[in-house]
Amino acid sequence: MSSLENFPWLNKAFLNTNLLTLPHSSLIEGSKGLGKSILASKIAKTLLCSESSTSSCDSCHSCNLFDQSTHPDFFINEDDSKIYFHHKRND
């Protein structure tokens, strides 16, 4: 599975994203093959993690659901140039 750490440009975009101010739905645009879905998944997994607000812990129930692609509060719709994703965080 591709990891954000393998794409330095995505890691920089993730680090520059203020997760506290993101709405529940977001749209990412860019060229095909840029890694938009990887970035969207990283952002959503971090927001949905129940143990950390700055990175995903990879061990909580929410992270396990996310890794199995069964998280009920994450939805992603993608085409070649746009990624729309929705995440419902329990604040």
The residue ranges that bind Zn ion (CB under 5 A) are 49, 51, 57, 60, 63
Task: Find, among 70, 37, 53, the residue nearest to 61 by Cα.
Answer: 70
**Contacts with 64 (C-beta within 8 Å, 6 or more apart), sequence order:** none
Task: Closer to Zn ion by CB, 31 or 54: give it.
Answer: 54
Task: Closer to Zn ion by CB, 58 or 78: give it.
Answer: 58
Q: How far is the CB of 90 from Zn ion (least distance, A)?
A: 13
Q: Sign of dihedral through CA atoms 54, 89, 66, 28?
A: negative
Task: Closer to Zn ion by CB, 28 or 49: give it.
Answer: 49
